[in-house]
Amino acid sequence: MVVDGQLTGWLSANGDPSVNSKHVQRLIVLAILTVGGSLTLLTGSPIPLWHIETLNDPVAVVSTTKTHLILDNGQRMTLPFITELPYDSPLFQAAILEGIEINDDGSAFGLMWLDRSCGNDPFVWNKVRVNLGDLAGALNPNGIDKSIVHPDAIAYLEECKRIDLTQTIRSHQKGHLTMWDRINMSAVREQFEHSALLAEADSH
């Protein structure tokens, strides 16, 4: 009887363990729903997402010079529209770290992490394919081939669309791209394509 009295007193003070367990479970479910609901409201997804792109038949780059990529198979290659590579740039080195994909037109692609532009972006882990020519042109517009791209266009890229490593330092120190870097690379690509169309028209 004394034991029963002690048990009754303990339950009175602490509650039924089964009831407490159910209460904890409800709190956990409520917390999960709250977090998931907040993420859905902000990003459109109840959980953080990842997006990982890959390369086709990547070839390792063993070293770089001002003009060439030296590949594991002994090949020395240049990039279309580029006469001088930003070979000592940490961003360029990050792009070739996992090897490069070489296409039939001579273009080459690497892989880089792309940092989130804002908290509304559901992709927390985002690795993207990067055209090395676009990246090289945005890092060093003066390294673009002036015999193909008009000098005025190069001057515009140098002044307005060059990737500034002193900005978004936290991303660049990790060898990551930002949304602004990709915008600058798109501007370089537009100039490349425009110059290629002009060259084709002049050939006819």
Give 49-112 as a DSSP string: EEEE---SS-B-EEEE-SS-EEETTS-EE--TTBSS--TT-HHHHHHTTT-BEE-TTS-EEEEE
Same domain, 94 and 187: yes
Give, for all 204 residues of the chain, the pLDDT tens digit. Answer: 445 555 455 445 555 555 567 766 776 666 665 554 554 544 445 566 788 999 999 999 999 999 999 999 999 999 999 999 999 999 999 999 999 999 999 999 999 999 877 656 676 789 999 999 999 999 999 999 999 999 999 999 999 999 998 877 889 999 999 999 999 999 999 999 999 898 778 776
Same domain, 32 and 90: no
Same domain, 115 and 140: yes
Same domain, 108 and 22: no
